[in-house]
Structure 1
């Protein structure tokens, strides 16, 4: 349930489901297409008829390692001043990383984080009014659920004690050993979007009363937003298995990446009230009432976590695939086959975020016992793209 005074349904947490894959091996699933109900969205844009397509071929080159030594980095949020906030999934700590020197300072710990499996301190986001509000938002797993809280960040306080007490704005997202979702981001409409997983309980994805297996849209206070498919609900889209990537293109369309189970991982354009098919469909199924992905990958090549939009393309970080994918676009259609970079060079890739000058921040995810033992040195990378 959301914080006191707001009625919501508390979804049950679920345990590991036999045969389903974790975010470490990213197993995909199939989906069906067309016919999904559409609702008006104040921020989903229409492609401009004169909008040029991205080039079919691009490039991506790591130009430097910005920082190392952060255990199990997961969320990354650029600050207006240019530095980065980074969450450590397993320690529950948040760090500030200087973008120029890489100097790393502990900001503080988030109380109540209960790490385990794919859960812990996950996504971070700063609101559009951060310069005045100084609020930091975090998605994290507790002993009973996944939730979103905000904390006042005061960099003038001593290192390690710069976060205020958490104000929980939303709770009741199902937790599990696997499929905890965790990505949060503020959209062009200044609302907060939350990608969740079904916690290993497949049926929750189709249950609109559950917050599991959904993309949620809420105000910065955790309330439903005017224009949501259901005025009294934060549920924005459903039928998801495990959403860990959210990004908007220049026409304000929302994109999301998703782990499948055995067949296909997905990149989707998100429609209000769209049904993305799980657990009935995985990948492009072409069935009425379900939305097909724009692109799909075999799990060995992807297991997608974070995504970003930059220079006309979606950039997608692969965990099991250990590579960075580029999907060049014209509007919401690919103009060429996806292109991959950095294959196997840095191990599992977790989070990718666009920089102000048209590049990317990229984090690795090797120090959780599931990656290459020779690459247990997680780092934050600066990537130059074209």
Structure 2
């Protein structure tokens, strides 16, 4: 794994975790959560409390993390985004359902209700109903955007209120494994999508003629956004294998996960017009014409999908690795110390990850798929709260 020198962020267990309830982990100095920024506005849901309240650490620099299971019995939750009321919308890949989670609560956790089931989705392999994004004007337009698979291609569609699903961008390559699926609005108000290369030889990722292996930047009508590298193209960056997570930090720096390479899974800082190397590079290449990842891990212990940021911390949720990877990123974009691990083997495969309006992390498991080993409550949606900084408190 990559990373510069400096003090590490270390995690240690503070007490045993009770199954299907809250756990506490002590966090040694290095990361601090502050209040969410203005672009994360929203009301906190009425969250269930951890069964064990956070306690002080062993020294003045120790901080703790409370873990709460918010929802159970989901089926391969994939995309996760927040509504203005503090609740979340969650997609299920294989059932093609869009769920609303919270803000109302029940005795078992947050209330889970089905909003829609999309008949246009054809789920198979790694394809289905994937990413979801909430319109920046949702309070007035009630519009959601989704990334989904058909038998022929992957598409981005618009759902306004109770209306029909309207495709706004089609022709994204479809394959058994590498379909991308990341979808999020950036700080500039445009919609970004991460796609998969979808070929055995990686030929689409570097090709300007293909939407495969790219990060796209479009308007809400599906047109190329103003300021793209090529005026007539939706492509923002190229040379990706399988982009399944996008986020921005408080400096508006953009991050994307890239999974599926034979040797290394990557976390990239995404810059307009750059080529991230696939298929020439698998991890860092040393080729000046290509952009190396911010961090990479062996694929068989990572394969990270979701990504989220809070203050200086960037976290990725890993499927094969069954853990979160966390990096402390400095103001100039370098990694401070070594990436650290959290939740290793605690909840199985982790995929969805997002920063909630209150500053907590929400993470979804992905154990109800062929590669998973589901427990009796899987799949679950979990909330992580760092006790310092005033954000994400129950």
- Shorter chain as denominator, the TM-score bin is 0.7 to 0.9
**2:203 match: secondary structure:** helix
Question: Which whole-Å CA distance do the structure 1 matches of 2:113 and 2:158 have between them?
Answer: 20
1:11-26 to 2 correspondence within 5 Å?
Answer: none
- After superposition, the Cα gap between the structure-2 partners of 1:301 and 1:210, relative to the gap in structure 1 and judged at 3 Å, is same
Residue 166 (1) aligns with residue 175 (2): no
1:310-349 to 2 correspondence within 5 Å?
Answer: 310-331=310-331, 332-349=333-350
Structure 1 partner of 2:124: 116
Following TM superposition, by how much is the alpha carbon of 1:170 offset from its aligned partner in structure 2, in angstroms? Answer: 0.5
Structure 1 partner of 2:363: 362
Structure 2 partner of 1:81: 85
8 Å Cα contact 1:119/1:140 also seen in 2: yes
**2:205 match: secondary structure:** helix
Normalising by structure 2, report the TM-score: 0.80
Residue 291 (1) aligns with residue 291 (2): yes
Following TM superposition, by how much is the alpha carbon of 1:311 offset from its aligned partner in structure 2, in angstroms? Answer: 2.5
Structure 2 partner of 1:215: 215
Following TM superposition, by how much is the alpha carbon of 1:287 offset from its aligned partner in structure 2, in angstroms? Answer: 0.7
8 Å Cα contact 1:66/1:100 also seen in 2: no
**1:165 match: secondary structure:** coil
Question: Which whole-Å CA distance do the structure 1 matches of 2:178 and 2:160 have between them?
Answer: 28
Question: Which whole-Å CA distance do the structure 1 matches of 2:382 and 2:169 have between them?
Answer: 32
8 Å Cα contact 2:82/2:357 also seen in 1: no
Residue 142 (1) aligns with residue 146 (2): no
Cα root mean square deviation, aligned: 1.9
Following TM superposition, by how much is the alpha carbon of 1:375 offset from its aligned partner in structure 2, in angstroms? Answer: 6.4
**2:383 match: secondary structure:** strand
Following TM superposition, by how much is the alpha carbon of 1:152 offset from its aligned partner in structure 2, in angstroms? Answer: 1.6
Deviates further, 234-243 or 90-99 = 90-99
Following TM superposition, by how much is the alpha carbon of 1:226 offset from its aligned partner in structure 2, in angstroms? Answer: 1.4
Question: Which whole-Å CA distance do the structure 2 matches of 1:60 and 1:112 have between them?
Answer: 44
Question: Which whole-Å CA distance do the structure 1 matches of 2:318 and 2:370 have between them?
Answer: 17
Normalising by structure 1, report the TM-score: 0.81
Following TM superposition, by how much is the alpha carbon of 1:299 offset from its aligned partner in structure 2, in angstroms? Answer: 1.4
- After superposition, the Cα gap between the structure-2 partners of 1:373 and 1:151, relative to the gap in structure 1 and judged at 3 Å, is closer
Structure 1 partner of 2:381: 380
Question: Which whole-Å CA distance do the structure 2 matches of 1:263 and 1:60 have between them?
Answer: 34
* Structure 2 unmatched ranges of 5 or more: 3-27, 33-62, 389-394
Following TM superposition, by how much is the alpha carbon of 1:260 offset from its aligned partner in structure 2, in angstroms? Answer: 4.0
Following TM superposition, by how much is the alpha carbon of 1:62 offset from its aligned partner in structure 2, in angstroms? Answer: 4.6
Residue 67 (1) aligns with residue 71 (2): yes
1:223-262 to 2 correspondence within 5 Å?
Answer: 223-262=223-262
Q: Deviations over 1:113-161 (max 9, x none)?
A: 00000000000000111111100100000011000101123xxxxxxxx
Residue 192 (1) aligns with residue 200 (2): no
Following TM superposition, by how much is the alpha carbon of 1:200 offset from its aligned partner in structure 2, in angstroms? Answer: 2.9
Structure 1 partner of 2:206: 206
* Structure 1 unmatched ranges of 5 or more: 1-27, 31-53, 154-162
Question: Which whole-Å CA distance do the structure 2 matches of 1:60 and 1:263 have between them?
Answer: 34
Following TM superposition, by how much is the alpha carbon of 1:261 offset from its aligned partner in structure 2, in angstroms? Answer: 2.0
Moved over 6 A (4+): none
**1:300 match: secondary structure:** helix
Q: Deviations over 1:222-265 (max 9, x none)?
A: 11111100000000000000001100011111110111422111
Q: Deviations over 1:158-183 (max 9, x none)?
A: xxxxx420111110000000100001
2:30 is aligned, of 49, 56, 61, to 56
